[in-house]
């Protein structure tokens, strides 16, 4: 569908794969804010709940079929995207996460302003030769991004150390502080008086639930009766189920995590890598104490006074167990951490501030030059 030649509003194309989890929530928050601001917004993605919710918000949605990981289908994915770009003719392309960033930059090649937002670097998610190849691409592909948006200063620093020469902008993640608020737990989530630890996230290697399960027997030794709820679903569900010790519940995917946050005595996210995770921000907004691994974005998401109590080294189940048990045994400290965390998120991680920072970046990239449409280039189909 070609845009009207008389409509002066710029069109933004959000390109994303994956279509679930934190990346999808960030995209939807930006889409909502940009539609409210009067931009014309198109979302290209492989369907899923993200596509349905973007349509509900009023965005144009285009199906772009792409696997989550690079593979033999990449050339066809790039060609399909190039045709989509010819039809949509965006003034700016915002590509989210590694796969969309790969295909998007190959299809656009800098012909219109292009924003790439890694949401954690691709080379951190893999090992060996695959990691080397991912890093080589990120170094090469940076030339086709007018701006690389990192969600934390630590994520930017990781890119710089890795030799990715780009124009960086840091825009910390934000959450809807009017939606995530303190409240009483519901009976379904708070079925007993036993201490409850909650971990919200996709069940996958990145989020580190296996490390928490390995730590859990030691937590039970020190805090008998404690319960652990893993909230979410993902590719590691079966493997984690085989690993799970006693007093662990798998809730599956939930439409609204707030009841679980509000029921928790402690929210834990033992990630192996991140850019800046949303779950700890959501939990703090609900007034709950959090414990996170010291990966990119973790320190920046916490109040400065929380580091001594709420950060543990990544990949160390023993340290994780000690920190979880210590916090469960100190209700006064947990209450203080939850109160300070709530005020911190309200002041520094409100989604409205995030949306305005992205809008300012768009204005910078689109200002001072005529707004241009994406022109058809046969070479990108080859």
Lookup: tokens for 331: 């209700």
How many beta carbons lie within 10 A of that of residue 234, not counting itself?
18
Q: Which of 134, 122, 79, 126 is nearest to 104 (CA)?
A: 79
Q: Going residue by residue through the chain (382 aa), what tens digit of pLDDT does each one get?
A: 344 455 678 999 999 998 888 999 999 999 999 999 999 999 999 989 999 999 999 999 999 998 887 777 899 999 999 999 999 999 999 999 999 999 999 999 999 999 999 999 999 988 899 999 999 999 999 999 999 999 999 999 999 999 999 999 999 999 999 999 999 877 566 666 789 999 999 999 999 999 999 999 999 999 999 999 999 999 999 999 999 998 999 999 999 999 999 999 999 999 999 999 999 999 999 999 999 999 999 999 999 999 899 999 999 999 999 999 999 999 999 999 999 999 999 999 999 999 999 999 999 999 844 333 344 333 333 3
Residues 6+ away with beta carbon under 8 Å from 238: none
Question: Rounded distance, CA 314 to CA 272, Å?
Answer: 6
pTM comes to: 0.90
* pLDDT at residue number 184: 86
Strand partners of residue 91: none
Q: What is the DSSP letter of 60?
A: E
Nearest to 119 by CA among 146, 89, 72, 152: 152
Beta strands in the chain (DSSP E): 11-16, 40-45, 60-63, 92-96, 114-117, 147-150, 168-170, 196-200, 227-231, 248-252, 266-269, 290-293, 311-312
Domains and CATH numbers, the chain: 11-174+350-381 (3.40.50.2000), 196-348 (3.40.50.2000)
Pairwise CA distance, residues 281 & 288, whole Å: 10
Q: Which of 144, 66, 73, 84 has the alpha carbon at shortest distance from 108?
A: 144
Which residues are CB-contacts of 106 (< 8 A; sequence separation ≥ 6)?
78, 141, 144
- Spatial strand order of the sheet with 290-293 comes to 248-252, 227-231, 196-200, 266-269, 290-293, 311-312
């Amino acid at each position: 569908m070609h845009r009207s030649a008389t409509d002066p509003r710029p069109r933004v194309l959000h390109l994303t794969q994956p279509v679930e989890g934190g990346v999808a929530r960030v995209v939807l928050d930006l889409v909502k804010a940009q539609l409210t601001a009067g931009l014309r917004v198109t979302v290209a993605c492989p369907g899923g709940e993200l596509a349905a919710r973007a349509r509900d918000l009023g965005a144009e949605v285009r199906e772009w079929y792409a696997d989550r990981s690079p593979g033999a289908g990449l050339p066809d994915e790039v060609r399909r995207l190039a045709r989509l770009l010819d039809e949509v003719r965006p003034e700016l392309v915002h590509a989210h996460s590694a796969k969309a960033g790969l295909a998007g930059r190959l299809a656009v090649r800098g012909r219109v302003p292009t924003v790439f937002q890694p949401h954690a670097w691709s080379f951190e998610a893999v090992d060996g030769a695959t990691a080397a190849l991912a890093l080589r691409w990120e170094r090469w592909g940076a030339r086709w991004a007018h701006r690389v948006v990192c969600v934390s200063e630590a994520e930017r620093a990781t890119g710089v150390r890795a030799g990715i020469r780009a124009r960086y902008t840091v825009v910390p993640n934000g959450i809807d502080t009017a939606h995530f608020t303190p409240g009483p737990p519901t009976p379904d989530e708070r079925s007993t008086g036993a201490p409850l630890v909650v971990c919200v996230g996709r069940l996958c290697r990145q989020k580190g639930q296996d490390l928490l399960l390995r730590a859990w027997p030691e937590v039970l030794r020190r805090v008998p009766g404690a319960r652990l709820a893993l909230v979410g679903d993902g590719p590691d569900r079966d493997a984690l189920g085989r690993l799970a010790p006693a007093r662990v519940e798998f809730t599956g995917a939930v439409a609204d995590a707030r009841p679980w946050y509000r029921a928790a005595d402690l929210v834990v996210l033992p990630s192996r890598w991140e850019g800046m995770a949303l779950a700890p921000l959501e939990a703090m907004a609900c007034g709950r104490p959090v414990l996170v691994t010291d990966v990119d974005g973790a320190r920046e998401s916490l109040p400065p006074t929380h580091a001594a109590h709420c950060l543990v080294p990544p990949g160390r189940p023993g340290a994780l167990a000690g920190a979880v048990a210590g916090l469960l045994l100190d209700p006064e400290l947990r209450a203080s951490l939850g109160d300070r965390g709530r005020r911190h998120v309200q002041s520094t991680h409100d989604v409205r501030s995030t949306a305005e920072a992205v809008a300012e970046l768009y204005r910078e990239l689109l200002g001072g030059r005529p707004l241009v449409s994406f022109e058809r280039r046969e070479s990108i189909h080859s």
